[in-house]
Amino acid sequence: MAALLTIGQLARRSGVPARTIRFWSDTGVLPEIDRSPSGYRRYDAAAVARLDLVRTLRELGMGLEDVREVLLRRRTVDEVATAHVRAIDDHIRSPRVQRAVCTLLARGGHTEKETALMNDLPGCPPPSGSA
């Protein structure tokens, strides 16, 4: 049997804090393979590979539920990534619209309709001289 890593060794090897590994283990995302006689969690090579996948998916901004779906093979990485790209695009679109409207209004000479539109956008201050 290959050498098993303690949670501290796994944390040093992966760059993932032991506290996070513990949480992922407790929630079933990263199951421990064994416990030492003194109760320390131990992980095998498969757990190391799984941790690398979980870390990568989390760094891409995917939630633990999406990660679980991939690990349980209910969804593919492609499916989750496609949905995530749509969410990122939606997230990017909103500030771009705000910036475009604010840029238009900052040029001055705006109508009441433009002012009303601008006031409906969060983070865009009203133009000077308007209520």
For the entire predicted model, the pTM comes to 0.64
SS3 call for 41? strand
pLDDT value of position 114: 67
Q: Using CA atoms, how far apart are residues 66 and 54, in angstroms rounded to an integer? A: 10
Which neighbouring-strand residues pair with 42?
6, 34
Q: What's at 100, amino acid-wise?
A: A
pLDDT tens, residue order, the chain (131 aa): 468 899 999 999 999 999 999 999 998 888 878 888 888 889 988 899 999 999 988 988 888 888 988 888 898 888 888 888 888 888 888 888 778 777 777 787 777 776 776 666 655 555 555 54
Give Cα separations from 61 to 66, 80, 111, 123, 126 (angstroms).
Answer: 10, 11, 40, 24, 33
What is the model's pLDDT at position 131?
47
Residue whose structure tokens are 């133009």: 127
